[in-house]
Structure 1
């Protein structure tokens, strides 16, 4: 199961404001994820012909480009293995099941579970009990797949990093990459299928941003595009933070089942979903959402005010 495509991410600074923010991030970065400040010459050692507008780029050699679908599949296998280990280690018998079932409303789950954690991404706002009750902003994004024909010699370096800029390049191989992503706010289109017209608009938007950093992209050919719908959290004085906590008072139901929400993680979800998932599990097991940082539950007070 291929879960990590390529290792290493390179981020060129593209404006003075961007440069200052990236320098601050590099100074305060985690020891476990090294950030190197390099100039254009060093950046081109990694990716020939790369443009670095301000002669400064930030290289994270230990960062990885993840296949999210396979990561989720591996995460479930890890949960299965942990369940088996704890059941044979004196912690009592435990079972884990994956049930695939479509529902139209949350109340269809009542009487089946003691607790339900709603983590449906953008589709949370489409559940009748939650429509208009969560401060999530929907945004459609389109990602374009490009390939380099075999008769063109200027392939991407075999161990070259992915690139993060106004648009990003996720490298799949010397002749295959993904370019993303567009931002269509207030969209409700969650279909992965992308029309020819939408594909053209996406490529027209993304290509200039990428070619400003990696001009060689003009030699690559567009193959196909895929789309998806994001659920973005609201902006507040602390930044753009996830929505978490018990939502019984929002659903206003009378069953013994308790409902919780876990969403709006945004682009940083891969970094802190494990920690937040653990906090949510502890809160659910103790029926106490005060175990969750107040910054992540404060949205409920605002919605109820």
Structure 2
């Protein structure tokens, strides 16, 4: 368990011609001021920003700038399916699932509280659970093991087809066994990320009003062509750009990441169809997933295009047609009622998929000063490769990342997440 003292070793603020204070603090000039740049406004970036504000000591003036050329949720995070649970039908058990699950739920609650009095187009968290029909012997074996060792805060119940149909009318369960996770959550990623940024703003104001030091957070719609252009602007820069990290010249060809473009289809029930998806029914996981938005709207995903370099959220008519052609048969095999739903557009994102390790596919974290070169003033860090479990991993790993940055100590991060570096530092 990590504990923090009221102060920890940090580099003193540098004074030089390349550093200009882009933010002014009202507190005494004798107080130390630190400025952090977070590149990317997705799950990783917003989590790091929140935790930098939350865990920085009250004696310091702290400014956090989030930089993203598209906007909050403009990458793969903003268009993900949003199905959150701490299990996998392929890996048993998931690495540090309990810590990741609890911290994700905490950040979701924080985001919801931040906008409770504001109007929002849709939900942040739909708490109706997730149902997974058993479709193969291999997946069933892993899910049975998961059920026997499930977390107390996210149970897995094995149910037969009749019980499954009481949850989702007319669902098909080929093996007569399905797995119901009543505590699992369906997140609206874009709403969640925007609300989490509002929470960051509120936290900065709250901490500034009660502490000695001042907190500030700002969002900048800015394109970063290379990391060295930020040299001297910040005490530390945290790269949270996901797949876009691989396009930075300092990191090009040096990260063990694969890119994968996923297409998510948006479906709705036509006005002449009265039969709706039940309000309290869970979302569905299978070879294709159904993330329920409301009784008449759902997201269907996801296709996979490996080695893609296209991180635009825009989906062409041809691309959408191919996605529907691939996804509909898979989803209809377990939910035949999908044939009544109509296509209502699609969205896409480019994921950064991490390498497979003995602990599963784990994101990449750590200090990357050696990738940038010698004698630079700023400290550089990487948090990338969230992959298909980004929503589960983002909160707890964002906390570890922020604590490592604030303490200038990479050892805060478990070695499983930094072991990717030694053989790649000198690669180029």
For 1:242, the equivalent position in structure 2 comes to 363
C-alpha contact 2:263 2:348 (8 A) present in aligned 1: yes
**Distance (Å, rounded) in 2 between the aligned partners of 1:140 and 1:270:** 17
Question: What's the offset of the Cα at 1:29?
Answer: 1.7
For 2:173, the equivalent position in structure 1 comes to 52
What whole-Å deviation, never above 9, does each CA across 1:214-242 have from its counterpart, x for those lacking one? Answer: 01111211121111111000112221000
C-alpha contact 2:254 2:425 (8 A) present in aligned 1: no
Question: After superposition, where does 1:86-125 map in structure 2 within 5 Å?
Answer: 86-125=207-246
For 2:311, the equivalent position in structure 1 comes to 190
Aligned partner of residue 146 in structure 2, secondary structure: helix
C-alpha contact 1:146 1:223 (8 A) present in aligned 2: yes
**Distance (Å, rounded) in 2 between the aligned partners of 1:96 and 1:194:** 32
1:61 aligns with 2:182: yes
For 1:263, the equivalent position in structure 2 comes to 384
**Distance (Å, rounded) in 1 between the aligned partners of 2:340 and 2:197:** 40
What whole-Å deviation, never above 9, does each CA across 1:81-137 have from its counterpart, x for those lacking one? Answer: 222222233353222222332221111111210100000011111111111111110
What whole-Å deviation, never above 9, does each CA across 1:245-286 have from its counterpart, x for those lacking one? Answer: 000111214321010000111222222322211111111122
**Distance (Å, rounded) in 2 between the aligned partners of 1:230 and 1:24:** 28
Aligned partner of residue 178 in structure 1, secondary structure: strand
Identify the match of residue 25 of structure 1 among 146, 152, 165: 146
Identify the match of residue 148 of structure 1 among 246, 269, 272: 269
Identify the match of residue 166 of structure 1 among 270, 287, 293: 287
What whole-Å deviation, never above 9, does each CA across 1:175-202 have from its counterpart, x for those lacking one? Answer: 2111000011101111111122111111
**Moved runs in structure 1, 4+ residues, more than 4 A?**
none
In structure 1, stretches of 5+ residues that fail to align are none
Instruction: From the superposition, tell whether residues 250 and 170 of structure 1 become closer, same or farther in structure 2 (CA, over 3 Å).
Output: same
Question: What's the offset of the Cα at 1:36?
Answer: 1.6
C-alpha contact 1:243 1:299 (8 A) present in aligned 2: yes
C-alpha contact 2:133 2:286 (8 A) present in aligned 1: yes
C-alpha contact 2:159 2:178 (8 A) present in aligned 1: yes
Question: After superposition, where does 1:217-232 map in structure 2 within 5 Å?
Answer: 217-232=338-353
Compute the TM-score of the two structures, normalised by the length of structure 2: 0.69
Question: After superposition, where does 1:279-298 map in structure 2 within 5 Å?
Answer: 279-298=400-419
Aligned partner of residue 222 in structure 1, secondary structure: strand
**Distance (Å, rounded) in 2 between the aligned partners of 1:97 and 1:49:** 48
C-alpha contact 1:6 1:171 (8 A) present in aligned 2: no
**Distance (Å, rounded) in 1 between the aligned partners of 2:277 and 2:397:** 37
